[in-house]
Amino acid sequence: MTTDAMTDPDLLPRLRRCTGPLHDGIETLLRLEAPMPLARYGRIVRGFHEFLKLWEQRVRHALPEPLRPWFDARVRSPFATRDIAALALPEDAALRAAARASQHRIRLDSPAAAFGSLYVIEGSALGGQVLTPRLVAAHGLTPDHGASYFHGFGDRTGAMWREFRQLAQQHAGADEDSRAAACRAAVQTFEALIETFQPVAAPDDPEAAPPLPAAASAG
């Protein structure tokens, strides 16, 4: 992590810099820019579902009580649940085990950490807006049938992101300790997602992200 990333008082640019390599790592692992076979897409949706149903409970607990209704109104696991039902996706024991094991990487012990971790999932919602039209074109999926997770809140996504940014700066950007905690949790969340999605990559896939070490540094 660079010195600038460790001292920037503006939270969002700092989070982008400290997580940049890991953001690239998860995109490489999931190959979201490559043609998306339906089976691979189904495993990605299943992986997010397994991860989020554990992570959302933990983030909610770490947020101040007045912010919990705000969080409840933007959780994303129900979208994945809807896609699983629409596509009749099978259970995936490997993804479930990886999602559970990955949770130990994320330390959610403060509101600042919760917002740092939220940054990762909130940011992925923006990327989902780009992926949804490709899923529609390739597989005939729609936001109402099979592409609910990546479509998410649709036209509301941009406004929800701006609202998140304001609250994140307010609750995690006011002092250096809070900014450091947010950055650490964002890094840890990317690491946990990479661990969760390792089963999606074939063992001989040259593009697959390498497994994370047992105790990766959060910076």
Give the 3-state secondary structure of 76-119: CHHHHHHHHHHHCCCCCHHHHHHHHHHHHHCCCCCHHHHHHHHH
Q: Which range, of 4-13, 77-86, 105-114, averages the lowest pLDDT? A: 4-13
Q: With bands split at pLDDT 50, 70 and 90, how would you rate the model's confidence at 136?
A: confident
Coil, strand or helix: which one is 205?
coil
For residue 59, give the nearest of 1, 147, 14, 122 by alpha carbon. Answer: 122
Q: How far apart are CA 104 and CA 106, in angstroms?
A: 6
Scan for tokens 């923006």, then name that residue.
126
In 145-161, which positions are buried (b, 16+ CB within 10 angstroms) versus exposed (e)? ebbbbbbbbeeebeebe
Q: How far apart are CA 74 and CA 111, in angstroms?
A: 17
Coil, strand or helix: which one is 41?
helix
Per CATH, the number for 10-200 is 1.20.910.10
pLDDT tens profile 41-54: 999 999 999 999 99
pLDDT of 34 reads: 87
Q: With bands split at pLDDT 50, 70 and 90, how would you rate the model's confidence at 128?
A: confident
The residue ranges of every structural domain in the chain are: 10-200
CA 77 centroid distance within chain = 11
Using H for helix, E for strand and C for coil, what is the string for 164-204? HHHHHHHHHCCCHHHHHHHHHHHHHHHHHHHHHCHHHCCCC
Give the mean model confidence (pLDDT) for residues 127-141.
88
